[in-house]
Structure 1
Amino acid sequence: MSDERTSMAALSDPAEQLALTLTQGGLQRMTARVLAALLFTEQETMTAGQIAEALSISSGSVSTAVKTLTTVGLIERVPAPGSRREHFRLPEGAWATLMSGQNMTVKTMREAAEQGIATTGEDSIAGRRLAEMRDFYDYLWRELPALIEAWRSQKSRR
Structure 2
Amino acid sequence: MDAKEQLRDAAERLALTLAQGGMQKTTARVMTALLYTEQDTMTAADLCEELSISSGAVSTAIKQLIPVGLVERVPAPGSRRDHYRFREGAWATLMSQQNTMLNVMLHAAQEGIDATGDGTPTARRLREMQDFYTFMARELPAQIESWRKQYQG
Q: Is the shorter-chain TM-score for this pair beyond 0.5, marking a shared fold?
A: yes
1:104-143 per-position Cα deviation (integer Å, ceiling 9, x unaligned)? 1111111111111112234321121111111111111000
**In structure 2, what is the equivalent of residue 43 of structure 1?**
39
Structure 2 distance, partners of 1:39, 1:91, is: 9
1:82-124 C-alpha deviation (Å, 9 max, x unpaired): 1111111111100000011121111111111111111223432
Gaps of 5+ in 1: 1-8
Counterpart Cα distance in 1 of 2:97 and 2:49: 30
User: Given the alignment, which residue of 93, 96, 99 partners 2:95?
Assistant: 99
Which residues in structure 2 correspond to 1:56-95 (within 5 Å)? 56-95=52-91
Aligned residue among 114, 126, 133 for 1:130: 126
Deviations 1:23-71 (A, max 9, x none): 1122111111011100111111111121111111111111111111111
Q: Measure the CA separation in 2 of the matches of 1:38 and 1:80.
A: 16
The residue type paired with residue 35 of structure 2 is L
Asked whether 1:17 is paired with 2:24, we answer: no
Q: Distance in 1 between matches of 2:6 and 2:143?
A: 36
SS of the residue 1:71 aligns to? coil
Structure-2-length-normalised TM-score: 0.91
Alignment: residue pair count: 149
Across the aligned residues of Structure 1 and Structure 2, the Cα RMSD in angstroms comes to 1.6
Shift, 1:10, TM fit: 10
Instruction: Please say which of residues 135-144 and 111-120 is displaced more in the overlay.
Output: 111-120
Q: Percent identity?
A: 61
Out of 138-147 and 56-65, give the one that drifted further. Answer: 56-65
Give, in whole Å, the separation in 1 of the partners of 2:118 and 2:55: 50
- Maintained 8 Å contact 1:106/1:141: yes
1:144 alignment counterpart: 140
Q: 2-side partners of 1:79 and 1:95: how far apart?
A: 22
